[in-house]
Structure 1
Amino acid sequence: MNPEQSTTALLFIHALSPLHAGTGQGIGAIDLPIAREKATGIPYLPGSSLKGILRDRAQGKGWDKDTLFAVFGPETEAASEHAGAVQVGDAKLLLLPVRSLYGVFALVTSPYLLERFRREAEMAGLTPPPLPPSLGQGQILVAPNSRLPEGGKVYLEDLDLEARSTPGVGEWEDWLTRTQAPVAGRLAVVHDDVMAFLLETATEVVARIRLDDATKTVAQGALWYEESLPAESVLYSMVRAEPSRRKEKALPAEAGLALFKGLLQGALQLGGKATVGRGLCRVSVGG
């Protein structure tokens, strides 16, 4: 496949309710943890979750079989025939909402998260602002108009960090308005080590129970703990399209990607626990 025939786009995923992209049974205190990258421990949403939901939506919209198979690939039993034209990458975390003493909550990121986001955004033809200046573990970078600082400090959960105002964070706030998340006055950049701590302690963990139908009390052994990314989290996913490999449906890369983008209208339910309102997301195209 000629690389010049392919086209890419960046998708932003804004969680409107807690997002549970699970990994099955946990081995620690949390019975149902979220998926995390092995090397970094950063939460992510598998690309298969997004692709599967959009494939179902395409079927619901009445796509003909050849178009559906050209864009998403054939059914599992015929998967060896050809690949789909659209490749959906895992959705990586960009902004984590963290409770703040002032401004209600902050949308927190770190130099590493911004660096790898910038790398993929440039691959998709976007031009994000420059990376903000370096900072120490006890510092936090905010925009000049931030609603988070009070008395030179920003208080996140049980952390108090020295606030440093920089126009660079304001540029990122302006640029990230395209995610449709409430970033204005709330964006904060912390040290990578502090971010690692927040990724372990600032996710949402809730106790779930199942009631016995007869007694309306907790059924024996039916208590478990479940982890989710909080509502207002922002993730991003790289999408790449190539010309169709299906003989019955010639489709240029741009046309396949356009069909894929057309499925993003309205809210999507991603991850698990849909019946209890988890995973309601707004997906938009960057740029």
Structure 2
Amino acid sequence: MIQNHLNSQPTVLDTPTADDAPNDAVTRRFRALFISDIHLGTKACQAEAFLDFIRCHDAPKIYLIGDIVDFWRIRRGIYWPQPHNDVLQKLLRKVRKGTDLVYIPGNHDEAMRDYCGSQFGGVAIERQTIHVGADGRRYLIMHGDEFDVVVRYAKWLAFLGDWSYTMALWFNTHLNVVRRWFGMPYWSLSAYLKHRVKRAVNYIGEFETALSQEARRHGAQGVICGHIHHAAMRQVGDVIYINTGDWVESCTAVAETEEGIFEIIRWNPHTGMSTPVDRVEELEAAA
């Protein structure tokens, strides 16, 4: 059972980060990590939570699957606090220590797509790529906006949707301040709408189907993507569909263990603990 441009790029300063301080947390090591939708440069980005996560989780290969820096928002005014700078420095420090880092730009950082096929500071920039799991299965890695008809054919509507999402996050932040006063747990408005609104549910289903078909076209047995801020792991026909989620609300990433088991990890910024929520082996048992 399944459980639940470059011209406007901020300068990255090589300054000391919180990571330089002693950290007694035990680091979990994986074969590969898959991360997307951090949205650095926005007030909704949970950069501190991501820094805590990346200190406690490591792998020799890390895939950044799009929307790492939000150029859409930066165009409207630069917001770049120190933790956002620390995130980039932490990732670059990993590269200098030997981590194989692959960066696949998304629609919010699409300016970087002009450099696909290049390497900068040891970071490989690719439009999409194939990851071979420990068991030999092939996974297509891509952001996923290519199969979002709104982004592809009506970008003005995508910008409107981005603004609406920002407003929902603003409302959600203030609502959860009140909930904390009464000792109530965090509640996500956008996650609720994604699960309850029929049109949103249909959109997610169509997105999953389209990505799975693309994986099949590439001769892959799975696909790992981001874009829709909805972490998921499910069987779609004969393809394993995996979405990494985001670091705006859900604070989720995907990891592959040395045994080739993929799992979605949810990081709790309040407790500083991670929880596996879905695993491929459980998915296959339920299929």
TM norm. shorter chain > 0.5: no
Higher relative contact order (CA 8 A, sep 6+): 1
- Bigger fraction of residues in helix: 2
Q: Which has the larger radius of gyration?
A: 1
Output the TM-score relative to the length of structure 2: 0.27
TM normalised by structure 1 equals: 0.27
